Amino acid sequence: MRQNTFNSKIAAILVLALFIRLLGIASRPIWYDESFSILFAEKGLTAMLHGTITTFGGSAAEEHPLGYYTLLWVWMKIFGESLIAVRLFSIIAGLVSVYLVYLIALEALSDAKSARLSMVFASLAPFQVHYAQEIRMYSFLAMWLLLATYAYQRGSKTSAAVPWTGNWRWWVLFSVSAALAQYTHSLAAFYLVALALLPILQKNWQALRAMVLAGIGALILYSPWLLQLPAQFSKIQSAYWVERPDISSLFTLLLVYVTNVPLPANLIMAVLFIVLIIMAIGFIQTARYTRQTGAKDGLWLLYLSFAPPLFLFLFSQWRPVYVERALLPSGAIFCIWLAWVTTKTNLSNIAQYSLLGLLGVSSALGIYQHLTYDGFPYGPFRELDISLRQRVESQDVIVHSNKLSALPAILFDSDLSQSFIGDQPGSRTDTLAPATQQVLNVRAEKDIQSVTRNAKRVWYIIYQRSIDEYQASGYPTHPDIEYLDSQYNLESEESWDGIQVLLYTKP
């Protein structure tokens, strides 16, 4: 008989996970990607299709599929567009993922205590908390892929000669969840490939036959969007900001899984030392327990934790697409692996308490950093808009150095006239295509000269980080500031948590 999969203990852990994920949802600043999600989704499905699949130079306007944006559009129609409302949407998916972690662990380890510990680890993992709050698709990506993982577990246990007999419903669920994951984010494929290889690694040939059929079913469900993939991949080839990862990315991944990043510079080495101790304990115990017992539960958990990142890393040597947040589902499996190491590998009491203590310290540091960090690319855009609204005059020009600060500012006051300088055409940062700009009702200006022509007062808004990067490259300052200094008088300069607001007046 199957163990009870929901009880008061599970409910208590879910309440803990909800409490952690509710912290700061009304006060935390947002950034460009989150503002894009809201501004794009609010326009509706027809507009989003135009802003995504319209081609320019053979490339699609937007590289992400529309699964998440469509769900967000429906959600906002019902619950509104406040930060609390849209963040709750991601939080719900994050809570479902926490419960799926429990189900996967229970199925894999046949031990409710270990499964609950997995759930606690996922509830407190800063990586999971961060993206459960973010107004992006990653919490949904994790949810669909974890659901596919659980469906695989249940479906692969069939003993029937015909793969679909008996457990066919689980394979149908696998097909649907795998397709939904692909509709959510194209990088879901790297986790799904790793999952599809599991029957071969486990030598479960009946499950392999069922996996092939379920995979075909997922492709059929995903086929309407397959036609758009070449144009979207061309978009990634021509304009995608991600750099080619090096070996340090794999060490960063360990920090991401345990504490998340960014971290304060004075803590990075100490936290990395803690993480390496945790990983050393985990790897040693996995090797020792597997050798002594022949059981491979820990190995396949370790495999799903690190094979998708490795596949993504190797692919990114050819076409850089390596972003840690797309590895959120593997990070959830990592929590199960840690719980398995803690409870199932005959770890000594001292080592067990040490491991739990180190994880507790890492989680506390990561969650605190997440809740208090307000540096680049975040900013107090609502407050900045209110201040500008009170001081701007009718003939003033408000111009942002780029889209990263412009879109969040436009989100909080769409009636305040604000423009921004477009990215260099053809550069890897030139990601906001003309069709998408049209849908968002924004327009990138060619250069600072054209947008300020004949203006008597100019409010120029730029991240301090942008200025620092130019100065580090040997320039005296940012080129836009250099031009404004030559044409205007600098009347005032303000700093808003790393965002510089410069007011220039005509001599």
Report the candidate in 329, 13, 337 with the shortest Cα–Cα distance to residue 148. Answer: 329
Q: How distant, in Å, are the alpha carbons of 51, 392, 452 from that of 449?
A: 28, 20, 6
In the predicted model, residues of the chain with pLDDT beneath 70 are: 1-4, 57-61, 158-166, 232, 234-241, 426
- The answer to whether residues 69 and 140 belong to one domain is yes
Q: Are residues 341 and 441 in the same domain?
A: no
Domain limit, last residue, from 343, 372, 401? 372
Q: Is residue 58 part of a domain?
A: no
Structural domain for 444, as ranges: 381-505
- Indicate whether 92 and 214 sit together in one domain: yes
Question: Residues for the chain: how many in total?
Answer: 507
> Quick one: 96 and 145 in the same domain?
yes
| Measured distance CA(350)–CA(431) in Å, rounded | 51
Residue 56 lies in a domain: no
Residues 120 and 137 in one domain: yes
In a domain, 42, yes or no: no
340-378 confidence digits (pLDDT tens)? 999 999 999 999 999 999 999 999 999 999 999 988 999
For residues 314 and 390, state if they share a domain.
no
Q: Which of 413, 383, 407 is nearest to 135 (CA)?
A: 407
Q: Which of 338, 372, 406 is where one domain is finished?
A: 372
* 399 and 251 co-located in one domain: no
Amino acid at 319: R
Please give the model's pTM, rounded to 2 decimal places: 0.94
41 domain residue, yes or no: no
At 456-469, the pLDDT tens digits run 999 999 999 999 99
Please tell me the number of Cα atoms within 13 Å of 63 on its side-chain side. Answer: 16
CA distances from 447 to 95, 255, 360, 444, 488 (A): 45, 39, 49, 9, 16
Q: Are residues 307 and 391 in the same domain?
A: no
The answer to whether residues 177 and 292 belong to one domain is yes
Number of domains in the chain: 2
CA distance 364 to 489: 47
Question: Quick one: 189 and 301 in the same domain?
Answer: yes
Bridge-partner residues for 419, per DSSP? 399
What is the per-residue pLDDT for 368?
Answer: 94
Q: Check whether residue 365 and residue 408 sit in a common domain.
A: no
Tokens of 68: 């998440």
C-alpha–C-alpha distance, residues 399 and 402, integer Å: 9
Q: d(Cα 39, Cα 418) in Å, to the nearest integer? A: 15
Residue 16 amino acid letter: L
Task: Please give, one letter per residue, the 3-state secondary structure of 330-357.
Answer: HHHHHHHHHHHHHHHCCCCHHHHHHHHH
> Hey, what are 111's tokens?
């031990």
Q: Is residue 132 part of a domain?
A: yes
Same domain, yes or no, for 399 and 309? Answer: no
Please name every residue paired with 505 in a beta bridge, in sequence order, or none if there are none: 457, 489
What's the confidence (pLDDT) of residue 64? 87
| Per-residue pLDDT at 2 | 54
Q: Is 350 a member of any domain?
A: yes
Q: What is the pLDDT of residue 159?
A: 44
Residue 50 lies in a domain: no
Q: Flag whether 45 is in a domain.
A: no
Domain boundary among 322, 338, 372: 372
Mean of the per-residue pLDDT values of the chain:
91
Helix (H, G, I), strand (E, B) or coil at 58: coil
pLDDT value, residue 161: 46
Q: Which two tokens stand for residue 281?
A: 């304990």
